[in-house]
Structure 1
Amino acid sequence: MSSRYGRVTTDWFLRFAAAPRATVRLVCFPHAGGGAAGYRRFAELLPDSVEVLAVQYPGRQNRYGEPVIDDMTLLADEIVGAVERELTGPVVFFGHSMGAVVAYEVARRLRGGDPVTVRRLFASAGPAPSARSSLGVHLRDDDGVVAYIRELGGSGVEMLEIDEIRQLTLPMVRGDLRLIETYRHAGGEPLNCPITAIVGDRDHTFTAADARRWVVHTTAGLDVHSLPGGHFYLDEQVDRLMPLLVERIVPR
Structure 2
Amino acid sequence: MTTATRRRPLVAGDWVYRPYPLAEGTPQVVCFPHAGGDVTAFAELAVALAPALEVWAVRLPARGGRYTEPMPETFDALVSEVAGGLTPHLRPGSLFYGQSFGALLAYEVARELRPDVVVPACASAPAAWPGTVPATDHGAEDLLRRCGLDAALPADDTIRELAVATIRTDMNVCRSYRHRADSLPDFAVHAVAGAGDTMLPPAEMAGWARATTGPFTTSVEPGGHLLATPLSAGPAGLLRALHARGGDRVHHHR
TM-score by length of 2: 0.84
Partner of 2:110: 107
Change (3 A) 1:176 1:183: same
Structure 1 residue 67: deviation in Å?
Answer: 1.1
Distance 1:97 1:70, change over 3 A: farther
- Quick check: 1:216 aligned with 2:210? yes
What SS class does the counterpart of residue 50 from structure 2 fall into? coil
Residues 210 and 158 of structure 1, relative CA distance in 2, 3 Å threshold? same
Is 1:153 the equivalent of 2:156?
Answer: no
Amino acid corresponding to residue 85 of structure 2 in structure 1: A
Task: Give RMSD over aligned pairs.
Answer: 2.6
Q: Does 1:123 align with 2:123?
A: no
- Matched with 2:134 is 137
Between the two proteins, the alignment pairs up a number of residues equal to 240
Match of 1:42 in 2: 45
Higher RCO (CA < 8 A, seq sep 6+): 2
* 8 Å CA contact 2:31, 2:96 repeated in 1: yes
Q: Which residue number in structure 2 is paired with residue 227 of structure 1?
A: 221
Q: State the shift of 1:135 in Å.
A: 5.2
2:197 maps to a residue whose letter is: D
Partner of 1:166: 160
In structure 2, how many angstroms separate the alpha carbons of the residues matched to 1:232 and 1:180?
Answer: 18
| Overall identity of the aligned pairs, in % | 30
> Any stretches of 5+ residues in structure 1 without a counterpart?
112-117
Query: Are the equivalent residues in 2 in contact too, given 1:45–1:242 (CA < 8 A)?
Result: yes
For the residue of structure 1 that corresponds to 2:17, the secondary structure is strand
Choose between structure 1 and 2: higher helix proportion. 1
1:28/1:240 CA distance change after superposition, 3 Å: closer
**Shift of the alpha carbon at 1:206?**
2.1
* Residues in 2 aligned to 1:228 and 1:50: alpha-carbon distance in whole angstroms: 21
Q: For residues 64 and 99 of structure 1, what CA distance do their matches in structure 2 show?
A: 18
Range with bigger deviation, 196-205 or 100-109: 196-205
Q: What does residue 175 of structure 1 align with?
A: 169
Secondary structure at the counterpart of residue 218 of structure 2 = strand
1:127-173 Cα offsets, whole Å, 9 max, x none, are: 110123435536234xx5313321231365544x6322234333221
Give the equivalent residue in structure 1 for 2:250. none
2:80 pairs, out of 73, 77, 98, with: 77
Query: Do the aligned residues in 2 keep the contact of 1:26 with 1:94 (CA within 8 Å)?
Result: yes
1:207 equivalent in alignment to 2:201: yes
User: Which has the larger strand fraction?
Assistant: 1
Structure 2 spans left out of the alignment, 5+ residues: 1-6, 247-254
Q: Which amino acid aligns with 1:206?
A: L
C-alpha distance in structure 2 between counterparts of 1:147 and 1:127, whole Å = 18
C-alpha displacement of 1:232: 2.0
Distance 1:29 1:154 in 2: 17
On the 8 A contact 2:27/2:91 being kept in 1, the answer is: no
Write the letter of the residue equivalent to 1:63: R
- Secondary structure of the corresponding residue to residue 35 of structure 2: coil
Query: What do residues 61-89 of structure 1 show as CA deviations (whole Å, max 9, x unaligned)?
Result: 11111112342101100011112233342
SS at match of 2:93: strand
